[in-house]
Chains A and B, each alone.
Chain A
């Protein structure tokens, strides 16, 4: 059974700092997705990673995929308050996109 594990589950960081969220998964899938969810809102697609070594960047967020290690990372550079949200990774497993439990990020002044 496919398992997707994120860590940390809770992350409190100061503005201007850097940090990384990790997503480990148990299948050989090479399709991994990152989503953002604001409180009480729907999920917004951030990144789609479709091959080993894929790297995508958008503003202060950068996502990468290592299919051999079955690991994806979401790196936050110089965090700002607007990045406060819950971030989910998800792995495509043949009709079933399996989600991690989510990382609740709080960026403080």
Chain B
């Protein structure tokens, strides 16, 4: 979507390897989020950021870490990928915590751990 890009779009990796997904925004929004989408679960929050170097855990944070050194970039790292982390990962941004506009989502990254 315009203003938010995710990379890579697809990735296949082996169990036990570290993986980093990138989310880049050009909207200067304060809040950024990482979600994973799995069938039957909707989207579940992994981690979120409310400013540079300000991050916190979401509902399913185990096995994931994040970093935000610049407003525009939010990185999601799988320290040691497992098959249970095979999923589609979405980044989202919002202007404020209580947003009047909902979130804007990136196009997603399909990650397969073999």
Contacts and interface: CB of A to CB of B under 8 A. Distances in A.
B46 to A, nearest CB: 11
B75 to A, nearest CB: 19
Interface of B: 1, 31, 33, 35, 40-45, 48, 50, 56, 58-59, 90, 97-108
Given A43-B105, A48-B102, A95 B48 contact: yes
14 contacts: A35-B102, A42-B90, A42-B106, A44-B105, A45-B102, A48-B102, A88-B42, A90-B102, A94-B97, A95-B48, A97-B33, A97-B45, A98-B59, A99-B42
Nearest to A50: B100
Q: Interface size bucket, A side?
A: 20 to 34
Interface of A: 4, 9, 31, 33, 35, 41-45, 48, 50, 88, 90, 92, 94-102
By Cβ-Cβ distance, the 10 closest A-B pairs, closest first, are A99-B42, A45-B102, A99-B43, A43-B105, A33-B102, A42-B105, A101-B42, A42-B107, A48-B102, A96-B45
Contacts, number: 58
Nearest to A89: B42
Nearest to B59: A96
Nearest to B43: A99
A81 B58 CA distance: 36
B58 A96 contact: yes
Contacts of B90: 42-43
A42 B110 CA distance: 12
Nearest to B35: A99
B5 to A, nearest CB: 11
Contact of A92 (B41, B98, B108): B98
B1 A95 contact: no
B101 A95 contact: no
Given A43-B105, A48-B101, A101-B42, 8 more contacts: A9-B40, A44-B105, A48-B99, A88-B43, A92-B99, A95-B31, A95-B97, A96-B59
